[in-house]
Structure 1
Amino acid sequence: MAVTEWHPDGATMCPYRLVLEHVTSKWGVLVLIQLLDGPHRFSELRRAISQVRQVSEKMLTQTLQTLERDGMIHREAHPVIPPRVDYSLTDLGREAAEQVRDLALWTQKRMDAVQEARDAYDAAKRQA
């Protein structure tokens, strides 16, 4: 798919690209990958994600709402006191999460090659 198929007129955000941004955002990636392990309560999810990168309650809430709206996650509120909410992946979300996880694993595996390319680029720029 060519970029022009995503954004044909260059003036408005194409829906495909918007979903891609949600799924591959800094917090979207971490939420989706974490939920591959199974359902999590909000506090568990925040704690797990914060081991990688500190996330505010507001940002996590916004990310969860966005992914829920896109059909990637399911939010289940239990009628108990204190309130309990569980988040899990939908079938669509599981498919996206597996793709994102594979990309993250590839990035980790190929980091040496990326660093070599960066070093070569930087060296060439310094010589120019």
Structure 2
Amino acid sequence: MGKDHAEKFKKKIAIWNDNDNPFRQFLSRIADKWSLLVIVVLANKPKNRCRFSELKKEIPGISQRMLTTTLRNLEQDGLVTRHVFPEIPPRVEYELTDLGLSIRAPIKVLFNWLRENWPAAKKVREKYASIKDN
């Protein structure tokens, strides 16, 4: 029984040991800080969509290049749809897909956990920094 359990565990964690695993790549893409922020901003917009410039204004510190890359990756993974309007100048809006909308609840749980646990983590960080400084 112990050996069977060990084999099952190995199979479960194999996903984390393979950099070429598509599941791991998908998780890495969704879990990066910019993707989470883009999803959250879009989720809080009317009809879950907005223009590139609105996203850039609402995500402090993101560069135009990083926002472009993040949106492209989210579109590639089916979380965001890009709408181009034939106007002059061209208008482009980004919208969460059904798949993108489905990740809102897990993100909310994660953000709530972060909010609740940040004070404790901050104390540990400060203690660690004071030990390292001495």
Match of 1:6 in 2: 15
Q: Flag the structure with larger Rg.
A: 2
The alpha-carbon deviation at position 17 of structure 1 amounts to: 1.1
Q: Within 5 Å, give how 1:95-114 maps onto structure 2.
A: 95-114=102-121
Q: Which runs of 5+ in 1 are unaligned?
A: none
| Partners of 1:82 and 1:116 in 2: CA distance | 50
How does the TM-score come out when normalised to structure 1? 0.80
- Paired letter, 1:20: L
Gaps of 5+ in 2: 1-7
CA RMSD, aligned part only? Answer: 2.5
SS at match of 1:110: helix
Q: Which has the higher contact order (CA 8 A, sep 6+)?
A: 1
Q: Return the alpha-carbon distance in structure 2 between the equivalents of residues 119 and 16 of structure 1.
A: 35
Aligned length: 122
Within-5 A mapping of 1:62-81: 62-81=69-88
Report the identity percentage: 35
Segments of 4+ in structure 1 off by > 6 A? 122-127
Q: Show CA shifts across 1:27-65 (max 9, x none).
A: 10110110101211000111111xxx3111111000000
User: Residues 11, 18 of structure 1: CA spacing in aligned structure 2 closer, same or farther, 3 A cutoff?
Assistant: closer
